[in-house]
């Protein structure tokens, strides 16, 4: 339960290779910046918060063995690593948040010697793990008030511990309600085509945690709602625009429309690092399109005709009108979001 997703042990960086779950839980050492870029691109590490942390460690891996004797040369190498890591995936804003955080850190310490700068980058990456754990626990505490005893929660994709350093965002209120408040909760997990993150990851981690979970196909959500089996929908997010539009795994928009049609509250769990105040609305969020083989094959087995045209966006944008609220580490933001979301950044740091 709550096993780390990414961690550093005696200057060695490890991840759980999520492409192998649920059949194998394999811990893999990442040795270079290029290996971390590939791990992010290939979804070996995934989930917006985890991607940000991984990028920070990737930058450190890229310069830890540098033989630069001048800080200027090392900072130039760090800038190159930052630029490279930023190309791994386009939608999750946490990736760019982490990259710029490292970049700003080293430029602010240009007077330090190279070995000190390397140590600063490593400590900053490690601190992101500690911060993420605190953020997710706070999201869990704020969101637990929405999860009553006997609550039935629908979620889409995986925004649990596997998508963060450890505790998750969308599933954090479930974990908190059960572990801290002693409430009974049942989760319905969409399978989440085409890569089945709900089936492979969410169902796996909830089962590992001993939390009752029912797996459903994506096209069953409407029927399950109509039968009165869902009390609340909680999903994660990869990027929230200033007005409350947000991008999440493909299919989230449809779930939001269904929840609205069935008068079911729909929440997104969003650490402040996933909020992009420079994006006025959802139209400003870049949407990643991925390899057609993800749709036409499952674990290498072909399931569609040869040569078929494929459209494979990894994310969609849910308009703010369908969102009941955003669960953040500083509390729950409610409409009008163009006012409540910016106010979050003016509040004191959370406990």
Looking at the annotation, which residues are catalytic?
238
- 240 alpha-carbon distance from chain centroid: 12
Question: What percent helix, strand, coil does the chain show, rounded to 5?
Answer: 45, 20, 40
Task: Say which residues have a Cβ less than 8 Å from residue 81's Cβ, sequence separation at least 6.
Answer: 33, 58, 59, 62, 63
Rg (CA), the chain: 20
Q: Where are the alpha helices (DSSP H) in 210-246?
A: 221-226
d(CA 121, CA 124): 5
Output b/e per residue, 286-307; b: 16+ Cβ within 10 A. ebeebeeeebbeeeeeeeeeee
Residues 233 and 155: beta-carbon distance below 8 Å: yes
Residues 155 and 169: beta-carbon distance below 8 Å: no
Question: Which of 270, 252, 245 is closest to 330 using CA atoms?
Answer: 270
Question: Which of 223, 162, 172, 217 is closest to 192 using CA atoms?
Answer: 217
Tokens of 137: 């626990």
């Amino acid at each position: 339960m709550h096993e780390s997703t990414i961690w550093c042990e005696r200057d060695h960086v490890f991840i759980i290779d999520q492409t192998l779950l649920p059949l194998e839980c394999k811990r893999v050492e990442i040795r270079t910046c290029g290996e971390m870029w590939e791990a992010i691109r290939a979804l070996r590490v995934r989930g917006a918060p985890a991607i940000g942390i991984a990028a920070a460690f990737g930058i450190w891996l890229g310069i830890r063995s540098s033989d630069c004797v001048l800080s200027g040369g090392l900072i130039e190498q760090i800038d190159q690593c930052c630029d490279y890591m930023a190309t791994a995936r386009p939608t999750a804003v946490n990736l760019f948040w982490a990259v710029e955080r490292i970049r700003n850190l080293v430029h602010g310490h240009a007077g330090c010697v190279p070995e000190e700068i390397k140590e600063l980058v490593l400590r900053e990456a490690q601190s992101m793990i500690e911060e993420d754990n605190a953020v997710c626990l706070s999201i869990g505490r704020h969101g637990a008030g929405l999860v009553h005893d006997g609550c039935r929660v629908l979620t889409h994709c995986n925004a649990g511990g596997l998508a963060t350093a450890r505790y998750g965002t969308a599933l954090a209120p479930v974990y908190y309600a059960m572990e801290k408040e002693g409430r009974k909760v049942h989760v319905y997990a969409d399978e989440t085509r085409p890569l089945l993150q709900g089936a492979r990851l969410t169902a796996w981690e909830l089962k590992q945690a001993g939390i009752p979970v029912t797996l459903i196909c994506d096209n069953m959500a409407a029927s399950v709602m109509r039968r009165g089996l869902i009390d609340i929908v909680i999903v994660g997010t990869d990027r929230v625009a200033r007005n409350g539009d947000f991008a999440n795994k493909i299919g989230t928009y449809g779930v939001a429309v269904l929840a609205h049609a069935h008068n079911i509250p729909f929440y997104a769990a969003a650490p402040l690092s996933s909020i992009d105040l420079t994006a006025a609305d959802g139209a400003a969020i870049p949407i990643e399109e991925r390899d057609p083989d993800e749709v036409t094959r499952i674990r290498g087995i072909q399931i569609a005709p040869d040569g078929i045209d494929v459209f494979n966006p990894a994310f969609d944008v849910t308009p703010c009108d369908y969102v009941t609220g955003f669960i953040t580490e500083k509390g729950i933001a409610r409409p009008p979001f163009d006012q409540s979301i910016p106010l979050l950044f003016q509040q004191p740091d959370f406990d």
